[in-house]
Structure 1
Amino acid sequence: MSVLRPLKTYQVVVDLVVAAAFLVLVVAVEGVTAFTVGLYVPAASYPASLSSLLIALPFTAALAVRRLSPGLSLGLAWAGALLQMGLGWAPSVADLAIFGVLYAVAAYGGRAVYWAGLVSALAGGILISLYLVLGPPFSSTALTWQTLPVVLTLLVAAVFALGLAWTIGALVRTGIRAREDRENRRRAEAEAAAEQERVRIARDMHDVVAHSLAVVVAQADGARYAAASDPAVATQALGTISATARSALSDVRMLLTQLRLREGDGPQPTFADLPALFEQVRGAGVDLAVDVDLGDPARTPSAVQLAAYRILQEALTNALRHGDGGPVAVRLRSQTGQLHLEVRNGLRGGVDAGWSGHGLIGMGERASLVGGRLNAAAEDADFVVTATLPARETS
């Protein structure tokens, strides 16, 4: 796992500028204090500017990398604090960097660094309280029953101050995680919706193209054999091929427009388009027997009408491509709030009648999407597609 967090360039620049300004402030304040008050111990051993620089460097470095590497920042802050106490220096303005470090550790650190920041806030509060009472700058003070209340007061104040910085960072961390979760959820929902739309369009594309090409191929094959004896048959076949191709081209253009713009579904087939579908199949040379009783088609939901149309279209395409060339029977009835659909055709020898191919899978998906069910299987010498779809009346 990388120690460094990915940051934008401007974030790195801002952190470096803040750290540089903090260094200048510490050196200026500590230099003036050393000259005027003699705060450092031993103050006479070092020039004031060198002492200020030495104490400020680790804290400045901790501020500079607090977002880039919170764990490293916490380590540098501890190094600065231990150096300060080891040399016997009193608390100074440089210690303010600790609050910024604890905030960053809680807000941006990993799990281990996050909890290390909480432990550091508690341990640091205890250490600071003891140092202020027993450390070299205050060596005249001893830990007695009389000074114990002072120590406890310092302890509570130090833990509260350090813990407050860590807690604010933890709250910011929670807000960041919540925002990321919302964004991830929104992205996942968008991807799921896009995938559903792609699947729907791919299913429509398959139904339109497969059916149209099956009709075109059947017409072309029939016209090729019949043209020698009856040229009029060839002319009629060419007319059917042209009409089928134009219709398919229009449908494909509509689907491609949806892929590009996603501004609406456009016109979709309904029960009113079934006669044209049946005539198209008959024009391909299929002996089609149709038994349709839909009652009032307008009271059937449009989604169910579309599903029924596409299932019939795919079933007839399969009959045209894989059937034995015999009659094809279509039965479509609306009864007791349900739409019953059946397509029966002769089964050519050697054709796999199981669930295989995108067409059969697509028919099952269409039935399922509107709350129906579909079965496609061989029955003796026939291949039968049956579907039951909800056709509840709309108010």
Structure 2
Amino acid sequence: MRTTVFGHPLRSVAFDMVVAAPVMLVSTAGAPVQPGGWWAAAIGAAMGAALLARRARPVAVTAVVAVLAFVQVALGWAPLPYDLAVLIALYSVVKYADRLQAGVIAGLVAVGGAVFAAVRTSTPGIWYFTAIFYALVIGAVWLFALNVRTRRLYVLSLEERAATLEREREAEARAAVAEERTRIARELHDVVAHSMAVMIAQADGARYVLDSSPETAREAVRTVADTGRRALDDMRRLVGVLREPQPPAEAPPAPAAEPAHRRPVVAELPALLQRFRDAGLRVGYTVTDLPSPLPPALELTLYRLVQEALTNTLKHAGPGAQVQVELAHVGGGVTLRVTDDGQGRTPAGPPPSGGHGLVGMRERVSVYDGTLTAGPRLAGGWQVLARLPLPSSPTAEVIAA
């Protein structure tokens, strides 16, 4: 933590005191012999005291020093050693003023004062040599201060740019975390909705056949348990990602491994379909000219679309419905069609309340500028049709609901 004095770093305040002290010391030490005596010493001491504020108020300090120097020359006192304060004030206003315009004006005033001092204190006929010498000294100090100012502003701009980039990186990191958590929340909804639908269907079926077919009821209960375990494992894995990590104090670096929230792929669809067959649906599956490999995110989208469509079928058409899942590569994109005949057994109890299944499906498809249509078929049942363009053909036409 930096120590400050009156809002300024202690190091800067100490340096300004070191700069002002010699001016004040010279003005008082030469009082017995210099023109003007103690009056001139008072002017020099005032100049030195003003320099203490040269960083915070450079324009005001320069104005005060200029007025005191004008009084000194007007009284006919020759330039004295403490007039070094004029050059210090000029340097300060060029370096620290908010606008360079103040430094330009200060430079012109200093040159005018040098000419005035040369006329007042030099021998007639050679005053202009003195004026030129003063002007050259003033010009050298002004250019040096301008160079320092330019470098100072350049360093400040680099620091500001670095701070801006750091803030942008932090904002991007926060946005990435929020996006990932939103995706995980959507995944969690899909897992819970699918598993609960399967478990409800199996539990209802077991209740109806408990007396007439105990073996079938036991199989249904076993399916409920297996589905519940898988859902619980998935939920633990996804919720674990949402928790803030708490690494041990001296944990060794872990080797790179597959993320805990592994993305399902199209190759895992048969296993997903088998779970729905176990729940009572009669599911057919065909794949036509599907390119390999597909982008991982696209595979996840296809997997979740199939899962949601079959979950809705189990909820509304009931166990026993005939479902056909078709994946095909058509016209530079992937087409997914899930149709059912709506001829399943009527679900026991009231139908499940409406969820966010179709909304989530539309959101997933819209990421790829695809289209999704979902609705009843003329021949009965329900159809979900989605078309997703492949990244290699971004201009391909897309269909999705």
**TM-score, normalized by length of structure 1?**
0.73
Residue 47 (structure 2) pairs with residue 55 (structure 1): yes
- Please report the RMSD computed on the Cα atoms of aligned residues, expressed in angstroms: 4.0
Contact 2:59/2:93 (8 A) holds in 1: no
Question: Cα 1:213–1:38, aligned 2, differ >3 Å: closer, same or farther?
Answer: farther
Contact 2:223/2:278 (8 A) holds in 1: yes
Partner of 2:203: 220
Partner of 2:68: 84
Contact 1:103/1:168 (8 A) holds in 2: no
Residue 330 (structure 2) pairs with residue 342 (structure 1): no
Unpaired runs of 5+ in structure 1?
1-7, 67-72, 106-113
Instruction: Give the counterpart of 2:191 among 204, 208, 214.
Output: 208
Aligned ranges 1:277-288 → 2 under 5 Å: 277-285=272-280, 287-288=281-282
- Please give the secondary structure, in 1, of the residue aligned with 2:38: coil
| CA distance in structure 1 between the partners assigned to 2:180 and 2:241 by the alignment | 9
What is the CA distance between 1:300 and its match in structure 2? 4.1
Q: What is the number of equivalent residue pairs in this alignment?
A: 358
Contact 1:378/1:384 (8 A) holds in 2: yes
Instruction: Give the counterpart of 2:105 among 112, 119, 123.
Output: 123
Partner of 1:362: 360
Instruction: Give the counterpart of 1:274 among 265, 269, 273.
Output: 269
Question: Cα 1:237–1:132, aligned 2, differ >3 Å: closer, same or farther?
Answer: same
| CA distance in structure 1 between the partners assigned to 2:308 and 2:314 by the alignment | 10
Question: Cα 1:340–1:38, aligned 2, differ >3 Å: closer, same or farther?
Answer: farther
Instruction: Give the counterpart of 1:74 among 50, 53, 58.
Output: 58
| CA distance in structure 2 between the partners assigned to 1:272 and 1:377 by the alignment | 27
- Please give the secondary structure, in 2, of the residue aligned with 1:19: helix
**What letter corresponds to residue 344 of structure 1 in structure 2?**
T
Q: Flag the structure with more relative contact order, 1 or 2, with Cα contacts below 8 A and sequence separation at least 6.
A: 1
Partner of 2:383: 384
Question: Cα 1:238–1:150, aligned 2, differ >3 Å: closer, same or farther?
Answer: same
| CA distance in structure 2 between the partners assigned to 1:36 and 1:60 by the alignment | 21
Structure with bigger helix share is: 1
What is the CA distance between 1:225 and its match in structure 2? 4.1
What is the CA distance between 1:122 and its match in structure 2? 0.5
Q: Describe the superposition over 1:37-91 as per-residue Cα deviations: whole angstroms up to 9, x where unpaired.
A: 8797744226x4x65553233321343xx4xxxxxx3354345434533543763
What is the CA distance between 1:161 and its match in structure 2? 3.5
| CA distance in structure 2 between the partners assigned to 1:40 and 1:331 by the alignment | 106
What is the CA distance between 1:385 and its match in structure 2? 1.6
What is the CA distance between 1:357 and its match in structure 2? 5.9
| CA distance in structure 1 between the partners assigned to 2:4 and 2:377 by the alignment | 71
What is the CA distance between 1:245 and its match in structure 2? 1.3
Residue 174 (structure 2) pairs with residue 191 (structure 1): yes
Question: Cα 1:269–1:17, aligned 2, differ >3 Å: closer, same or farther?
Answer: closer
Contact 1:307/1:370 (8 A) holds in 2: no
Question: Cα 1:203–1:32, aligned 2, differ >3 Å: closer, same or farther?
Answer: same
Tell me the percent identity: 30
What is the CA distance between 1:312 and its match in structure 2? 0.4
What is the CA distance between 1:172 and its match in structure 2? 1.9
Aligned ranges 1:236-251 → 2 under 5 Å: 236-251=219-234
Instruction: Give the counterpart of 1:175 among 158, 174, 188.
Output: 158
Question: Cα 1:331–1:301, aligned 2, differ >3 Å: closer, same or farther?
Answer: same
**What letter corresponds to residue 384 of structure 2 in structure 1?**
V
Residue 271 (structure 2) pairs with residue 289 (structure 1): no
Q: Which moved more, 1:326-335 or 1:236-245?
A: 326-335
| CA distance in structure 2 between the partners assigned to 1:258 and 1:10 by the alignment | 43
Unpaired runs of 5+ in structure 2?
74-78, 246-255, 393-401
Question: Cα 1:102–1:154, aligned 2, differ >3 Å: closer, same or farther?
Answer: closer
**TM-score, normalized by length of structure 2?**
0.72
Question: Cα 1:96–1:214, aligned 2, differ >3 Å: closer, same or farther?
Answer: farther
Contact 1:129/1:155 (8 A) holds in 2: yes
Contact 1:291/1:332 (8 A) holds in 2: yes
- Please give the secondary structure, in 2, of the residue aligned with 1:44: helix
